[in-house]
Amino acid sequence: MGMTHANAPDMVVDLAPRNPRELVLRNPVIPASGCFGYGQEFAGSVDVQRLGAFVSKGITPKSRSGNPMPRITETPAGMLNAIGLQNPGISGFIRKYPPIWLSWDVPAIVNISAKSVEDFAMMARKLDDVPGVAAIEVNISCPNISAGGFCFGWDAAMSADVTQKVRAATTLPMIVKLSPGALDIVEIAQAVEAEGADAVSLINTLVGMEIDIQRQRPVLANVTGGLSGPAVRPVALRMVYQVAGSVDIPVIGMGGIATVADALQFFMAGASAIQVGTAAFAQPRVLMDLIDGIERWLAARGHSSLGGIVGVANERYQLRRQTPRAEDLLTMESEFTR
Amino acid sequence: MGMTHANAPDMVVDLAPRNPRELVLRNPVIPASGCFGYGQEFAGSVDVQRLGAFVSKGITPKSRSGNPMPRITETPAGMLNAIGLQNPGISGFIRKYPPIWLSWDVPAIVNISAKSVEDFAMMARKLDDVPGVAAIEVNISCPNISAGGFCFGWDAAMSADVTQKVRAATTLPMIVKLSPGALDIVEIAQAVEAEGADAVSLINTLVGMEIDIQRQRPVLANVTGGLSGPAVRPVALRMVYQVAGSVDIPVIGMGGIATVADALQFFMAGASAIQVGTAAFAQPRVLMDLIDGIERWLAARGHSSLGGIVGVANERYQLRRQTPRAEDLLTMESEFTR
Amino acid sequence: MDVMAKTESTFSTREFMGEIIRIEPVMGDAILTTFTAPKKAVAEARPGQFVQILSREPTAYDPLLRRPYSVYRADQKAQTLTVLVRAYGRGSAWLMRQQEGVSLDVMGPLGAPFTVRPKTERLLTVAGGVGAAPLRMLAEAAIRDGKQVTYLMGANDADGLLPARELPDEVEYVVATMDGSAGHTGFVTDIIPAYLQWADQVFSCGPEPMFRTLRAVIHQHRMGDRPDVQMAVERAMPCGIGACLGCVVETRRGMRTACVEGPVFEMDEMLWG
Amino acid sequence: MDVMAKTESTFSTREFMGEIIRIEPVMGDAILTTFTAPKKAVAEARPGQFVQILSREPTAYDPLLRRPYSVYRADQKAQTLTVLVRAYGRGSAWLMRQQEGVSLDVMGPLGAPFTVRPKTERLLTVAGGVGAAPLRMLAEAAIRDGKQVTYLMGANDADGLLPARELPDEVEYVVATMDGSAGHTGFVTDIIPAYLQWADQVFSCGPEPMFRTLRAVIHQHRMGDRPDVQMAVERAMPCGIGACLGCVVETRRGMRTACVEGPVFEMDEMLWG
Ligand SMILES: Cc1cc2nc3c(=O)[nH]c(=O)nc-3n(C[C@H](O)[C@H](O)[C@H](O)COP(=O)(O)OP(=O)(O)OC[C@H]3O[C@@H](n4cnc5c(N)ncnc54)[C@H](O)[C@@H]3O)c2cc1C
Ligand SMILES: Cc1cc2nc3c(=O)[nH]c(=O)nc-3n(C[C@H](O)[C@H](O)[C@H](O)COP(=O)(O)OP(=O)(O)OC[C@H]3O[C@@H](n4cnc5c(N)ncnc54)[C@H](O)[C@@H]3O)c2cc1C
Ligand SMILES: Cc1cc2nc3c(=O)[nH]c(=O)nc-3n(C[C@H](O)[C@H](O)[C@H](O)COP(=O)(O)O)c2cc1C
Ligand SMILES: Cc1cc2nc3c(=O)[nH]c(=O)nc-3n(C[C@H](O)[C@H](O)[C@H](O)COP(=O)(O)O)c2cc1C
Ligand code: FES
Ligand code: FES
C-alpha cells in the first residue's frame, strides 16, 4: 500500500512544468497506451487509483474495428502486435469514457493517432475542454497520408508540424510519443520540444514480423507488427538516455520495463516517469509492485525524492546539471572564451 | 552427419551469381562475423569443415585492442556487445589467418570495417588475391569520419560510395552488410546492389544500452553496445523480408537465429543463406544442428532443394517470381498498357 | 488535484500463487494438474471460464505471456483448481515439467462461462481434444442441477479420449475415434444428428475445423433456432482481461474479446469468414 | 571448389548433457552440484578450469548465455564433475532450483588451469567466497602429487567458510572471518604475510578487492619474484572458447581472453588499471 510515514520519499512528478494546466502525478508509474484499455479493464487486477496516471488506448478520428486476426504473437522475451487501433473514434470515445474518469483520483491521458495533421488538430480541439481528460499523448508513429504513408515520427519537419498544430488546438498538457524507427530520435525530440511539447514519451514499438513455417506465411494478418516487451528494453533505454540528455522537457521512458530494477535504469538514464505496457499483460500486479518497489528502493538508500536519481547515469545530463545559469556565466566568462 | 543418399535435398547456394569468381556454399549455414573468431576457436566444438562458409571477426586497417571492459552484458533473450573491433589489422591478419584457411574445405569470408571510403578500398585491394580468402563482407555499420561520424550504412549515397570503391578495388565476391539503424534499409540495399554488391547480409546489431543501478552508470565501458540474439529476431526477419522483396541479388539473413524453425522463417522471408552469431556462443552445436535440421526438414516435406522454400512467405517475392521475362512481355503488352 | 491525497479504493486482485498438489496422466500425453487456489477463486469458477498460467521460471523473461487453460474442476472442499494440460508448444512444455510442490503464478478465473438457460433440461456437449476440459466441468454442474447430459467426444484413438471415470455416472458418454478403437469409427460430428432433436442446448469446445463441421451439421438439422449452440473458442491471450484487444472474435455485434466477452460465444453470433 | 566434396574431418564436441546425481549444501547458501560427465571431460579436467552451464529451460531463450563454474571436483571413478554454486543472479538462481535427475547442458572443461611448477614443494592458496572451488581441486591434486599445501580462506562468518572436511587432511587450513566466529578476526589478506616466505607459489581466487589487497601485500613482502603468484579471475563469459573477445584481461602482452588464455593469469602479467 506504499509508505505513509513522514519520511516516505517524494515520488511526485510534474510532467508539464511549462504548462499552467499542469500534469502532476503522485508517482511516476503509468500504464502505456494500448496496454491498459480505458482504465476499467484492470480494475479487477490492480488498484487503478494508486497509479501516477494512465494512458488510454489510441483514439482515432473515426471508429475503427482494427486489423483482422491474428493480431498478436509472442517472440523471444517479447511480443508483436498489430491491433490496428480498434477504438470507438474520438466522438464515441468522448461520450463514453471521460465521464467515468471524472470521478477517479488519477489523471487520464488520452493517446491520439491520425493520418493527417488536420485530424490530429481536430482531435486535440475536441479534447481540449473535456472534463476527465488530464492530458494528451500524441502518437506520431502513424503513417502520414499526405506524405505517401511515411511515418510522421520519422521526419523532424512533419513531427514539428503535428506538434505545432496540436499546440495551437489545445492548452492541455501535451506529450509527444516518439517512434524508435526515426534515424535520429534526438532530432525529432528537439523538434517537438521547440514547437511546444510539454513532454516526450518513448519508445513506441519497433517494427517486426514472424513467419508461420507450417503455413508458409506471415503469422500476423497484417504481415508486420510492433515489437514490445523486455526484448526491446536495451534499445528503449539507449534512446531515453540520448533524448533525456538533449531536451529540457520531461522524458517519459518505456519499452520492456518489468521490474523495479528496469524502472530505475530508465530514471537513471534521465526519465522523469515511466510507462509500462507488455509486462502488465503477463503480471498486472507489476504496476503496484513498481510503485511500492521504487519507493522502497529510494527510502532504503536515503533518497528524499525520486528526482535525486533522475539522470544520474547520464553523462550529458550531468553536464547539463552543471551548466551555469546566466548570472554565473558572467563570472566564468574567461573560462569559456579561452 | 547430414544425409548422403541420393535423395538428399540440394542445399547448395550460390551467393555471388553475378561474379565469375563465384561463392558457392555446400549449405546455407554461416557463422556470423565477430561470433566465430577466425574459425579455429570453434574447432573443439563443431566440425568447421561442414559449414557452408564462415565469416571472420571484423578486420580494420590498423590493429586495434578494442574497447575497455566490460564489453558485454546480457539482456532479456539477447546480449549487448561493445568489443570495439579488437583485431590484428589487415596486414597482420593477412599474414596470420588466410594461410591456415588455405587447407580448409570451407569458404572463408573476411569482414572488413573502416572509417573512410579509402580505407575500405585499401583493404579490399589487399585482400583481392590473398589465397584462402573466398569473399569479403563489407561492414557499413561503421562511423564515417569524413561525415562527422555518421554511420555509412544509414545513408544511401555513402553506402553506394563504399560499395563502388570496394568494387573497383577487388573482383572478389562482395557481400555488403547492412545496418538496421537505417531509416529505410530497402533504399540502402538497392543502392549497394546498383553499385555492384554480389549479395547483401543483414542485420548487424541494434544500438542499445544497460545501466548498472548499483553503480549508477552504464554497464558497458563504451556506454552503448550492439544488441543481438533471439530478442532482435522479429526486427531482423522483417528487414530481410523487405530487402529480399526489393533486390535481385542474394540476401543473407541473420539476427537471433537459434533453431531450425528460426532459420526456416528467414528462408521463407527470402534469405538464400543465414548467419548465426549469438546463439552459437551459448550452444556451438546449434551450427551443426541447423545444417542437419534444415536438410531433414526439407527432406521430410519432399523438397528437392532449399531454393524451393526461399521467399515462399514473401508476397513481393512471389510477385517478382511471376514477373514476366522480356519475351513474355511482348504478348502481354496490352495488359500492362491499360 | 492533491496528488498525495489518500486514495480510498478497494480492489481484489485475480493473481495468486497456487501450489501444485497433484499431477495425474489423463488422456494421450495430457495431464491433470491440480493446484491450491484462494477460496474466492474456487467458489467463483464457472464452466467455460479459464485461468492464465505464467509458464516460465521466475528468473526468466521467456516465454513472456501467460497461457490460458480451461477450469477442469473446482474442488470447493480441497480448495483447489484443476486444469488439463496437453503438450503443445513452449508454454505447455514448461507446465508439464513442473512437479508437485511447485508454486504456479495463476490469474483467474477469467472470461464469460457457458450459459445454461433455466428451462434447459437436456444438454448435448461436443468435445474435441483438450476441449474436453471445460465441458467436463459443465457436465458435472448440470448433473448437479438435475439436468440430463449427453457428452460426445472425438479423438484419433481410444487413448485420446477422456476416461469415462472423469465424468459423473449420470452422463451419457458417447465417443468416436478415427481408428475405430472405441465407439463410432470416424468424426464425432458424424454422430451429432442423432442427438440434435433431443437437446435443448449444445455446448462445444474443440479445434476450429470441428467447429466448422459442427456448424454445418447443425445448420442442416436444426429446427428453427433449436437447439441453441454455444462454443468456447481458442485464441492466444496476452492479457486475459480485455485490455490488449489481441484475442478478438468477429461477431454480428462487432469485435468481441474472447477473454472477457468470451471464450464462450453463441455460434450464430460469430462471423465465420 | 567442389562444394559437395565429402569432408574428412574429426572433431570432438565439448558440449554434453550431465545428469544431476547429487546436491549438497556446502557453505553459506552455496551448494555442491554433482553431475555425470563423459569420461574424457572428467579425465581432462584440471584445477582452475571451468565448465559453462546453460542456465535456462530447454523451452526458454532467457537467460540466454551460459554461466561459468570452476570445476570443484572431478571424480574419475564415479565419472562425475562437481561445481560449487552460490545464489547470485538469474543464472545461478535457476541452477540452484534444479533437482537430482535433471539433465544439465554443460560445456567444458575449458580454460587454462593453474600451473604448478615442477620444483614447487609448498603451495599457498588464498580463497575468497566461491573462489574456494578451484583452489580445493588444486589442493587435492597437489597433495596427491606429494606437495605441501596451506589453504587460506576468508569469509564474513564461519558459515561462509568451506568446511574442513572438504579438503584433504594433509592440507593446513587457516581461516579468517570478519566477525571473528572462526580463526583470525579480519581479512584473509591480513594473515598472508606469515606464509609468504614459506610458499614457493601462491594461487588465489576470489573477488576483485581481495586480489588488489593480496597484490599490495605481496608486493610489500615478497623477495624478488618469489613466490610467484597466479590468480583465477572472474569475467562474464558469453562463449567460453575465445571467439567473442568479451572476457578479455589486459596484460603486459596485450588483451588476453579469460576463457582460453585464462582464467588463470600470472599476477604480474596483468595490468591493474
Ligand atoms: C480459453 C482457452 C482455454 C484453453 N484451455 C486449454 C486446456 O484446458 N488445456 C490445454 O491443454 N490447452 C488449453 N488451451 C490452449 C492452451 O492455451 C494452448 O496449449 C497454449 O496456448 C499453447 O501454448 P504453448 O505455450 O504450449 O505453445 P506455443 O507454441 O508457445 O504457443 C502456440 C502459439 O501461440 C502463440 N501464443 C501462445 N500464447 C500466447 C499469448 N499469450 N499471446 C500471444 N501469442 C501466444 C505462440 O507464439 C505460438 O505461436 C486453451 C486456450 C484458450 C484460449
Ligand atoms: C572462470 C569462472 C569461474 C567461476 N566459478 C564459480 C564457482 O565455482 N561458483 C560460483 O558460484 N560462481 C562462479 N563463477 C561466477 C558465476 O559464473 C557467477 O555466479 C555468475 O556469472 C553470475 O551469474 P548469475 O546468472 O547468477 O547472475 P546474473 O545477475 O545473471 O549475472 C551477473 C551479471 O553478469 C552478466 N552476465 C552473466 N553471465 C553472462 C554472460 N555469459 N555473458 C555476459 N554477461 C553475463 C549479467 O548480465 C549480470 O549483469 C565463476 C566465474 C568465472 C568467470
Ligand atoms: C497490444 C499493444 C497495443 C498498443 N497500442 C498502442 C496505441 O494505441 N498507441 C500507442 O501510442 N502505443 C501503443 N502501443 C505501444 C505501447 O504503448 C508501448 O509504447 C510499447 O508497447 C513499449 O512498451 P512495453 O515494452 O512496456 O510494452 C501498444 C502496445 C501493445 C503491446
Ligand atoms: C560479440 C559480437 C561481435 C561482433 N562483431 C562483429 C564484427 O566484427 N563485424 C560485423 O560485421 N558484425 C559483428 N557482429 C554482429 C554479428 O555478426 C551479427 O550481425 C549480429 O550479432 C546479429 O546476429 P545474431 O543475433 O545471430 O548474433 C558482432 C556480434 C557480436 C555478438
Ligand atoms: S487477451 Fe487481451 S483482450 Fe483478450
Ligand atoms: S567468453 Fe568469449 S572470448 Fe572469452
Map out the domains of chain B as residue ranges: 13-311
Query: Tens digits of per-residue pLDDT, A151-185?
Result: 999 999 999 999 999 999 999 999 999 999 999 99
Query: Tens digits of per-residue pLDDT, B12-47?
Result: 999 999 999 999 999 999 999 999 999 988 888 899
pLDDT at residue A316, rounded to an integer: 73
Question: Ligand 1 pocket: which of C61, C234, C247 to mutate (most atoms <8 Å of CB)?
Answer: C234
Residue having the nearest C-alpha atom to atom 18 of ligand 4: B204
Q: Is residue D263 part of a domain?
A: no
User: Could you tell me the residue range of the domain that residue C129 belongs to?
Assistant: 122-234
Question: Which three cell numbers mark B114?
Answer: 573502416
Residue D72, domain CATH: 2.40.30.10
Q: Can you tell me which residue has the cell 563423459? A: D38
Q: Which of C52, C95, C98, C70 is nearest to A282 (CA)?
A: C52
Give the minimum alpha-carbon distance from D264 to chain B in angstroms, rounded to a whole number: 18
pLDDT at residue A6, rounded to an integer: 59
DSSP A59: B
Contacts with D62 from chain A: Cβ below 8 Å:
76-77, 230
Q: Is residue D253 part of a domain?
A: no
Do D12 and D35 lie in one domain? The reply is yes
Query: Tens digits of per-residue pLDDT, A265-288?
Result: 999 999 999 999 999 999 999 999
Q: Is the peptide bond before A70 cis (omega within 30 degrees of 0)?
A: yes
- From the CA of A280, how far away is ligand 3's center (Å)? 11
State the total domains in chain D.
Answer: 2
Q: Residue A30's Cα: distance from chain center in Å?
A: 8
Query: Tens digits of per-residue pLDDT, A68-109?
Result: 999 999 999 999 999 999 999 999 999 999 999 999 999 999
DSSP A142: S
Q: Is residue C254 part of a domain?
A: no
Instruction: Provide, rounded to the nearest whole percent, the portion of chain A with pLDDT above 90.
Output: 86
Do C7 and C52 lie in one domain? The reply is yes
Do D136 and D182 lie in one domain? The reply is yes
* Cross-strand partners of A276: A31
Do D133 and D104 lie in one domain? The reply is no
Q: Which CATH class is domain B13-311?
A: alpha beta
pLDDT at residue D10, rounded to an integer: 46
Yes or no, beta carbons of D60 and C94 under 8 Å apart: yes
Yes or no, beta carbons of D64 and B36 under 8 Å apart: no
Query: Tens digits of per-residue pLDDT, B301-325?
Result: 999 999 999 999 998 777 766 654 5
- From the CA of D122, how far away is ligand 2's center (Å)? 31
Q: B: neighbours with 3+ CB pairs under 8 Å?
A: A, C, D
Q: Can you tell me which residue has the cell 579509402? A: B118
Q: Which residues of A are catalytic?
A: 142
Residue at a domain's end among D110, D132, D158: D110
- From the CA of B205, how far away is ligand 4's center (Å)? 6
Q: Show pLDDT as tens, one digit a residue, over chain A (338 residues).
A: 455 565 789 999 999 999 999 999 999 999 999 999 999 888 888 999 999 999 999 999 999 999 999 999 999 999 999 999 999 999 999 999 999 999 999 999 999 999 999 999 999 999 999 999 999 999 999 888 888 888 999 999 999 999 999 999 999 999 999 999 999 999 999 999 999 999 999 999 999 999 999 999 999 999 999 999 999 999 999 999 999 999 999 999 999 999 999 999 999 999 999 999 999 999 999 999 999 999 999 999 999 999 999 999 998 777 766 654 444 444 433 333 32
C90 lines ligand 1 (CB under 6 A): yes
Q: Is residue D262 part of a domain?
A: no
- From the CA of C67, how far away is ligand 1's center (Å)? 5
Taking CA–CA distances from C243, the nearest residue in chain A reads A37
CA atoms within 13 A of residue A333's CA, in its CB half-sphere: 4
Taking CA–CA distances from D90, the nearest residue in chain C reads C59
C247 lines ligand 5 (CB under 6 A): yes
C259 lines ligand 5 (CB under 6 A): yes
Residue at a domain's end among C85, C110, C135: C110
Query: Is the distance from CB of A223 to CB of B315 less than 8 angstroms?
Result: yes
Taking CA–CA distances from D62, the nearest residue in chain B reads B77
Residue having the nearest C-alpha atom to atom 22 of ligand 4: B255
The amino acid sitting at C273 is G
Residue C213, domain CATH: 3.40.50.80
Do C126 and C106 lie in one domain? The reply is no
Question: Which three cell numbers mark C218?
Answer: 447443425
pLDDT at residue A1, rounded to an integer: 46
Query: Tens digits of per-residue pLDDT, C210-248?
Result: 999 999 999 888 888 888 999 999 999 999 999 999 999
pLDDT at residue B180, rounded to an integer: 96
B87 lines ligand 4 (CB under 6 A): no
Q: Can you tell me which residue has the cell 491471450? A: C237
Q: Which of A53, A50, A136 is nearest to A93 (CA)?
A: A136
Query: Tens digits of per-residue pLDDT, C129-151?
Result: 999 999 999 999 999 999 999 99
Residue having the nearest C-alpha atom to atom 12 of ligand 4: B33
Q: Which ligand is nearest to the CA of C49?
A: 1
Burial of B144 (0-12, 13-18, 19+ CB in 10 A): buried
Contacts with A41 from chain C: Cβ below 8 Å:
239, 241-243, 260
Nearest residue, CB atoms, B74 vs list D4, D13, D64: D64
Do D106 and D184 lie in one domain? The reply is no
Q: Show pLDDT as tens, one digit a residue, over chain C (273 residues).
A: 333 333 334 456 799 999 999 999 999 999 999 999 999 999 999 999 999 999 999 889 999 999 999 999 999 999 999 999 999 999 999 999 999 999 999 999 999 999 999 999 999 999 999 999 999 999 999 999 999 999 999 999 999 999 999 999 999 999 999 999 989 999 988 899 889 889 999 999 999 999 999 999 998 888 888 889 999 999 999 999 999 999 999 999 999 999 999 999 999 999 987
Do D18 and D47 lie in one domain? The reply is yes
Question: Which three cell numbers mark B42?
Answer: 570453434
| B300 vs A: CB within 8 A | no
